């Protein structure tokens, strides 16, 4: 049974409320289908629970003598759990950050492959160690801004992204800075009397207040990725004419998209403009001001060619719409 921690005034704001325990229980008990890239009679899907998968993964890490610091649930699923935000029940894309005490990424990958191989054997699926990598939807070693290994497993219904690094996962000062500690939950299971700590790189009460009072009603994932940062920066009084604040804002944007294709950035940016500015009576002055600020931040931070060209494409699209009043098929799709 997990020990109940004595809470003090500071600690009280950094725990998951008891009435949210059920969300974590449901998440851990959720059926997880791990599908191979090639579906044949030989390569069948693995069916397990998230808890069973993670428990076995942690056991494999121990076998490979990989010492863990923590296992944290990060991303938008945290918001769903903390606030009971059922309209945005984001359990189809689960992000986990595993912090280890070394950068033995070869052993990390072997442990992850051994986990899938063991699951195949348990379910009498004929898969050799050479064939197990087929069960990874994604596998990458990222070197910037710090080294971390990524694997993705799951299916179209739910994808679990597992990021392993000796460093804390990237976050901004808003919703994505909140993390739910799962190591003890996975190792010892979840008791109804448990108090599960949440952590943040920033003041937890301040972050919680931001979400509750300013952005909780913005449920769209696009708002979370771009608009959340933009609005919170404004709300907190950051001066985007100040070079230091511009760089900070730009870093938050780039941290979200640094490992994704430039086309993805363009799509997210366009959706944000559609769903935020276009609902404000097509205020093109505000739209262009936002795009100029965004472009300046990208140039101020690093590698302007990476994303600046995508901002230019959006500008050209908007200029056509402003002059003609005609929406493209793509614009109508996003507005719907």
Percent of the chain with pLDDT over 70: 54
Helices assigned H by DSSP within the chain: 9-12, 21-29, 50-63, 76-83, 105-122, 183-188, 204-210, 221-222, 228-235, 243-257, 262-272, 284-301, 304-324, 329-335
What pLDDT, in 10s, does the model give residues 126-147?
Answer: 888 888 888 888 888 877 667 8
Q: What's the rounded Cα separation, in Å, for the pair 126 and 14? A: 45
* Across 258-263, average pLDDT: 65
What pLDDT, in 10s, does the model give residues 88-112?
Answer: 555 578 989 999 998 889 999 999 9
CA dihedral 15, 19, 23, 29 (to 10 degrees): 100
Q: What is the DSSP letter of 7?
A: P
Decide: 278 and 318 in contact? Cβ < 8 Å. Answer: no
**How many other β-carbons are positioned within 10 Å of the β-carbon of residue 72?**
23
Q: What's the rounded Cα separation, in Å, for the pair 288 and 314? A: 10
Q: Map out the domains of the chain as residue ranges.
A: 9-199, 220-335
**Angle of helix 228-235 relative to helix 243-257, nearest 10 degrees?**
160
Q: Look-up: residue for tokens 């870093």?
A: 251
pTM score of the predicted model: 0.63
What pLDDT, in 10s, does the model give residues 154-197?
Answer: 887 888 999 999 988 766 545 567 788 899 888 887 665 566 77
Decide: 85 and 223 in contact? Cβ < 8 Å. Answer: no
Predicted pLDDT at 13: 43
Decide: 97 and 194 in contact? Cβ < 8 Å. Answer: no
Q: What's the rounded Cα separation, in Å, for the pair 299 and 14? A: 37
Percent of the chain with pLDDT over 90: 18
Integer angstrom CA distances of residue 148 from 42, 168, 207, 261: 32, 10, 26, 18
Q: Is the dihedral angle over the CA atoms 3, 101, 169, 10 positive or is it negative?
A: positive
Q: What's the rounded Cα separation, in Å, for the pair 171 and 311? A: 23
* Across 51-60, average pLDDT: 95
Q: What's the rounded Cα separation, in Å, for the pair 20 and 161? A: 23
Q: What's the rounded Cα separation, in Å, for the pair 284 and 315? A: 10
Q: Which two tokens stand for residue 244?
A: 């230091």
What are the helix and strand counts (H, E) for the chain? 14, 9
């Amino acid at each position: 049974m997990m020990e109940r921690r004595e809470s003090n005034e500071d600690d009280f704001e950094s725990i998951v409320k008891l009435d949210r325990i059920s969300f974590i229980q449901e998440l851990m008990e959720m059926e997880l289908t791990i599908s191979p890239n090639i579906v044949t009679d030989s390569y069948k899907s693995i069916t397990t629970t998230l808890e069973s998968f993670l428990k076995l993964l942690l056991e494999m890490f121990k076998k490979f003598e990989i010492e863990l610091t923590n296992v944290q649930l990060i991303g938008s699923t945290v918001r769903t759990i903390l606030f009971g935000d059922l309209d945005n029940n984001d359990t189809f894309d689960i992000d986990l950050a595993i912090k280890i005490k070394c950068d033995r990424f070869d052993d990390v990958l072997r442990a992850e492959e051994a986990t899938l191989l063991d699951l195949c054997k348990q379910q009498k699926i004929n898969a050799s160690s050479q064939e197990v990598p087929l069960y990874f939807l994604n596998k990458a070693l990222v070197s910037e801004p710090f080294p971390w290994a990524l694997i993705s497993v799951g299916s179209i219904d739910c994808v679990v992204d597992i990021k392993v690094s000796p460093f804390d996962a990237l976050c901004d000062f808003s919703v994505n800075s909140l993390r739910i500690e799962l190591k003890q939950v996975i190792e010892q299971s979840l008791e109804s009397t448990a108090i599960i700590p949440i952590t943040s790189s920033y003041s937890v009460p301040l972050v919680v207040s931001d979400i509750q009072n300013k952005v909780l009603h913005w449920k769209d994932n696009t708002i979370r990725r771009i608009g959340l940062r933009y609005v919170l920066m404004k709300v907190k009084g950051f001066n985007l004419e100040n070079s230091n604040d511009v760089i900070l804002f730009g870093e938050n944007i780039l941290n979200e998209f640094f490992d994704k294709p430039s086309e993805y950035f363009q799509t997210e940016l366009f959706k944000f403009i559609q769903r935020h500015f276009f609902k404000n009576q097509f205020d093109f002055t505000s739209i262009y001001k936002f795009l100029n600020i965004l472009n300046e931040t990208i140039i101020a931070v690093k590698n302007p060619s990476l994303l600046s060209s995508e901002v230019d494409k959006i500008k050209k699209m908007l200029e056509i719409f402003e002059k003609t009043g005609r929406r493209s098929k793509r614009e109508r799709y996003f507005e719907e």
